[in-house]
Structure 1
Amino acid sequence: MEIHKLADCFKALGDPTRLKMIALLNLRDFCVCEFIPIFNISQPAISKHLSRLKSVELVTENRKGQWVFYSLNRERLESIGLALKNLPDVSEELRKLEEKGLLVNCE
């Protein structure tokens, strides 16, 4: 991989919100609207973060009806040396939001 492409990947991962998105996507695929209560930021802001991750090919998108779901591009992450097992476990945070009825389900 070219040095500037690798640097772009690391720049994208350097943002705490995007890194947390990667950790969440390591658990399962997410729709944009599902991220809103997790991060408590607007849909356009979520979309901008995901667009940045997509621009460096760290995530992919798949359309399911009216929804667009994002998933990890695991091969790309492995190619830049990101060990997914080293990401923080965010499943407890998801569980707490679900208990409060704050999680959205787009399926």
Structure 2
Amino acid sequence: MRVSTVQIENAATILKLLGDRTRLTMVKILESQDCCVCEFVEIFKTSQPAISQHVRKLKDAGIVKETRRGQWIIYSLNKENDFYPFVQNLLQQLPNQDFKLQELEQHGLRISCE
């Protein structure tokens, strides 16, 4: 199978984007659970603007999508994206991150954005 330069460039772009630990962890979390920015702020102990920048980059690349629920914006993996199978294969190699959400819940910090 011949892989074109464009496909290699797209793969390189995605790998560069996911080369950031925070973004890679976000995507792994989103593999099993939709989240809002406020939950990521608690998980990563960083500012809302910093988290929003990470989410924006993932959204711009089409890796994540947003759904509005009232005043809240919930993020999930974009399974319709052409590169989802590539991202999914990568995520299968990573350890589960559900414990991060469970820790939030145990500390009463899991935010219900319903």
Q: Decide which of 50, 68, 72 is 1:45's aligned counterpart.
A: 50
Per-residue deviation, 1:81: 5.3
Matches of 2:100 and 2:67, distance apart in 1: 25
RMSD: 1.7
How far apart, CA to CA, are the structure 2 residues paired with 1:96 and 1:82?
A: 25
Q: Tell me which amino acid in the other structure corresponds to 2:100.
A: E
SS at match of 2:76: strand
Identical aligned pairs, as a percentage? 46
TM-score norm. by structure 2 comes to 0.82
The 2-side partners of 1:82 and 1:103 are apart by 25
Contact 1:25 1:70 in 2 (8 A): yes
Task: List structure 1 segments (4+ residues) > 3 angstroms apart after TM superposition.
Answer: none
Tell me the equivalent position of 1:102: 109
Number of aligned residue pairs: give it: 106
Q: Max radius of gyration: which structure?
A: 2
1:20 & 1:70 partners in 2: Cα distance?
14
| TM-score, normalisation: structure 1 | 0.87
**2:32 partner SS:** coil
1:14 and 1:8 mapped to 2: Cα distance? 10
Unaligned stretches of 5+ in structure 2?
none
